[in-house]
Amino acid sequence: GGRLTIREIRKDYGEHTAIKRLDLEVRAGEFLSLLGPSGCGKTTLLRMIAGFEEPTSGAIELDGEDIAMLPPYKRPVNTVFQSYALFPHMSVAENVAYGLKRAKVAKKDIGPRVSEALRLVRMEGFAERRPDMLSGGQRQRAALARALVNRPRVLLLDEPMSALDRKLREEMQLELIRLHTDIGLTFVFVTHDQEEALAMSDRIVVMNDGVVQQIGEAEEIYQAP
């Protein structure tokens, strides 16, 4: 996994400052959660790392290289969104392969790469299914495969479980922990759910109103009520 360095980043939307002045180092291969209430700037930070949003000022480096000038599809970073964002008229395999088209991967490599990604999320048996024939958890795993197929150095997860019911959410937590352990990719995981962050992360960044309030391992963050 890649090491992500965020230097003095700031984001204004007109008069409103969403991110005030934020420094953060995400270690190579760690599972880092961004935790905080709605509106504190988690998604804005994630979108700037992904390249969907331009910082007002500051720098973002991946393994020491400035990625701020790269368009989203050229960044070695991929995102799993809240909603699955799967194309309904395409099979799982076609959905996953779609992620490779822009990257100009050789045709002969597409099949093996898609199989590899589906294997990582244990969805090999569902390659030919349409999304409407999958459960919520399977759809989210297909979306994960699509994000992994480009072999990103950092995976960004924007509340990926919020559309799932409690039972599926717990399954998905375990699935993500297993996946992270298996592939050693750097994960940046956005959530407003403290329990979820505590259960899954190596470290937690607590955000509030556009700033980092606290950062540390679960034991350091957790305060018994």
13 lines the binding site for ligand ADP (CB under 6 A) = yes
125 lines the binding site for ligand ADP (CB under 6 A) = no
| Rg of the chain on CA atoms, in Å | 17
CA–CA distance, 221 with 225 (Å, rounded to integer): 12
Among 8, 23, 25, 39, binds ligand ADP (CB under 6 A): 39
Considering the complex, what minimum distance in angstroms separates the CB of residue 211 from ligand ADP? 12
Which amino acid appears at position 50 of this protein? A
The count of chain residues that interact with ligand ADP, using the rule CB under 6 A, is 11
Q: How many angstroms separate the Cα of 186 from the Cα of each of 28, 101, 155? A: 6, 24, 6
Three-state DSSP state, 112:
helix
Do strands 4-13 and 154-158 pair parallel, antiparallel, or not at all (unpaired)?
A: unpaired
Considering the complex, what minimum distance in angstroms separates the CB of residue 216 from ligand ADP? 19
Select from 12-20, 100-108, 125-133, 177-185 the region that touches ligand ADP (CB under 6 A): 12-20
Look up residue 69 and give its two tokens: 């000038």
**Closer Cβ to ligand ADP, 43 or 78, answer by number:** 43
Among 44, 95, 191, 201, binds ligand ADP (CB under 6 A): 44
**Closer Cβ to ligand ADP, 18 or 157, answer by number:** 18
55 lines the binding site for ligand ADP (CB under 6 A) = no
Select from 23-31, 38-46, 69-77, 128-136 the region that touches ligand ADP (CB under 6 A): 38-46
Q: Would you give the DSSP letter of residue 52?
A: S
Burial class of residue 140 in the structure, from the number of CB atoms within 10 Å of its CB (0-12 exposed, 13-18 middle, 19+ buried): buried
CB 123 within 8 A of CB 145: yes
**Closer Cβ to ligand ADP, 30 or 159, answer by number:** 159
How many DSSP H helices and E strands does the chain contain?
Answer: 7, 10
Q: What is the CB neighbour count within 10 angstroms for residue 217?
A: 12
**Closer Cβ to ligand ADP, 126 or 189, answer by number:** 189
Considering the complex, what minimum distance in angstroms separates the CB of residue 53 from ligand ADP? 7
Beta bridge partners of 11: 19
Residues forming contacts to ligand ADP in the complex (CB under 6 A) are: 13, 16, 18, 36, 38-44
